[in-house]
Every structure is written in C-alpha cells, then in structure tokens.
Structure 1
Amino acid sequence: MINKQGLNLKILFDSSVLIAAFVESHPKHKNALLFLTKANNREFELLVSSHTILEVYSVLTSAPFKPKITPAIATQLIESNIKTIAKTVTLIEEDYFNIVEKMSGANLSGGIIYDAIITECALKTKADEILTLNPKDFLRLTEGTSVKVSSL
C-alpha cells in the first residue's frame, strides 16, 4: 500500500488490534489477523509504540482468555508478531512532558493520556494511520493532524 507521497504506507497498531489478532475467540480476530498478515507480507510498514508492547503483554497475561495465555506464550506472540515485523517507536523524556502539556492545554484528563502516547508515536514517525478498535479518543487526539484513524 502506497501513501499520497508515493511511499510505503505507515500504519501504527494500537494494543486492541494486536490483542484481537492474537486471540482467536476475539470478535474482531479475523479482521485484525488479516491486517497483521498484510504487515507480515510487507504490504505496509507496521509501527507499534513501545508502550503498546507492554500493554499487549499485560492484557494477554491477565485477561480471562480461554485457554489462558501464559507469560511464555504472550512473549512468543509478541516476539514473532511484533518484534520481527514491526518498527518499535519509542519516545524520549521531552516527548512525555510535551504530552502532559498538550493534555493540560486541551483540558483532557484520565486514561486518554495513554492514547496520547500512541498518538505522539504516530506523529513522531509521520504515520499515515492509527488502526484501533477504540477510535473515539484517537479521533479527538489527531484532530488537525494528517494522521487518519481507522477502526476494524
């Protein structure tokens, strides 16, 4: 997939898409797995924030999935489906303080700050799109930017 500049499309996945791709019983599993397969086939550049990696591990190992996902299985899923396929996006100290300033300036509070971390990663890497199952906060956070928000 090519973006408007003729470059490979950059899509940043949030944790909800990755979890859906990894868990067969998830209602969005087939759609999420399709996008992960496209990323594996290099149809676009997959981006994942470092925060998302930790969130995926936390959810996989603590949610009541049947069968239970052990820490070893969660690690294997992350290594074979994120580490080997995606570009991991990290932020620096200054980025975190900028996020706090942006949130304060927009009078936003609470858990939306974690989606702001993902959004900042998308902006930092000039991602074309954020793919999520929870678009509401991302739509607010990307308003006025070139980053598109898509939901499965």
Structure 2
Amino acid sequence: MLSKEKDCIVVIGCGRLGSTIAELLSEERKNIIVIDKNKDNFINLPNNFSGFTIEGDATEIDTLLKVEISKAKILLVITDDDNTNLMIAQMGKKIYKIPQVIARVYDAKRESIYKNLGIDIISPTRLFTEKFKKITV
C-alpha cells in the first residue's frame, strides 16, 4: 500500500485530533494513511482528503503489515487510550524501526515511559497545564 520510499505518514486514530492532523497533512500533499477500528470515524475527514483510510485494529500485526508500516517515516499514534497508544508506538519504534514515532499520552505520569523508549509525546494534560500557568501568572 505504501510507496517504495520511506515517505509515508501513518496516523492511528481518526477521532477529532486524528482527523484534524490528517486533514492538515492532506492539505500539505503528504502521503498519508489513516487507520481506525471504526470506519464511521472516517466521516471526520474532509471530502477532499487525499490519503488512504484503513479500517482495522492497529494493535494487530496483520493490520500493520497490510499498510506496510515498516516503510513509514512517521507514525502518529493518537487514539483515546494511553495503553493502546503505548503498545502501538512501541511496535512502531522497536519492531518496525519507524524513524519518528509520536504518541498522545493523557496521563502525565506516563510521559517518562514513552520518553525512555525513544517515543516523542504530545500530552494534552501537560499542554493545558502549561498554558494555564502562562494565563494565570
């Protein structure tokens, strides 16, 4: 499914955040694949979305092999579950050797786990807290 070059971006999760990021990447004409367990979530993507969508469970190796995940240059894991995100991010980093893996993490106490595994993180909790401190100080 992916091109022969390592230039694809794979997004796991097509909720509000995943679909917004996919839309941004599509507008930038990036080679993108969005995977979600629920095909109904693809309705969040704009009509002019230029990437591919795959209905499947990204915790299952068959789903990842179907999209030739090892050819991805970036993996964004942004489901609404920290455990799922950690598992898929670890697989992407350790098994499939994806150069850049970014995962969403809600529980700020888990940030060090991701960082120790070489996984970049985005924490809505941390972002809100930092913004709150700037506003109230």
Under TM normalisation by the shorter chain, which class is it?
0.3 to 0.5
| Structure with greater strand percent | 2
TM-score normalised by L of structure 2:
0.40
TM-score normalised by L of structure 1:
0.38
Structure of greater relative contact order (alpha carbons < 8 Å, 6+ residues apart): 1
| Structure with greater helix percent | 1
